[in-house]
Amino acid sequence: MAHRTRSFLLGREKEEKINLCEFIESYLSSWKENLKKEGISLLINIKGENFPWIGKRDDLKEIIHNLIQNARESMEEKGEIVVSLEKRKKYYLLRIKDTGEGMNREIRKRIFTPFFTTKGEGRGWGLVKIKRIIEEYGGKIKFVSKHKKGTEFLIYLPAEQEKQSPV
């Protein structure tokens, strides 16, 4: 909380050139062991070695953290989360797929609505916030979810320095 307050008051970190492959592997390594203790496998499938991207590390952490946490909470017991990254023409495609509960039609319709949550303790800002962050970079976020079968989020981030819509 202190970090977020400081960032808000002093201004956010500056954009920098980030190797998405290294960043995602490094960030997810901290999740892997904790998820394993909960009976959840975290698989990472990155198709490349150096995917340069201009952005803020905190923004990437926010996106990945929120989606991994949501995937984790969607599983009652054991399950699997698969994170994949690949380059497609002018954008990077980051996929986060889980074997959790999935979403019914009503939830799918409201997923990016402020204050909408399916969690007792949630505030309904997580997906709204990461959607805004992704769109600020000229990207898109989509999802596919089947009730009782899991959910997959697809995040498209521009590979080019110009911020343009990839899809």
Q: CB under 8 Å, gap of 24 or more: what pairs does 144-150 form?
A: 145/102, 145/103, 145/107, 145/108, 146/102, 147/101, 147/102, 147/103, 147/104, 147/105, 148/101, 148/102, 149/99, 149/102, 150/74, 150/97, 150/98, 150/99, 150/100, 150/101, 150/102
Note the pLDDT tens digit of each residue in 67-125.
Answer: 999 999 988 878 999 999 999 989 999 999 999 988 888 887 878 776 666 666 666 57
pLDDT at 22 over 70: yes
Report the pLDDT value the prediction gives residue 47, as an integer from 0 to 100. 87
pLDDT at 163: 47
Complete DSSP assignment for 86-116: EEETTEEEEEEEE-S----HHHHHHTTSTT-
- Domains present along the chain, CATH in parentheses: 14-155 (3.30.565.10)
Query: Is residue 165 very low, low, confident or very high in pLDDT (cuts 50, 70, 90)?
Result: very low
pLDDT score of 164 more than 50: no
Q: How far apart are CA 18 and CA 81, in angstroms?
A: 24
Predicted structure pTM score: 0.83
- pLDDT of 3 over the 50 cut: no
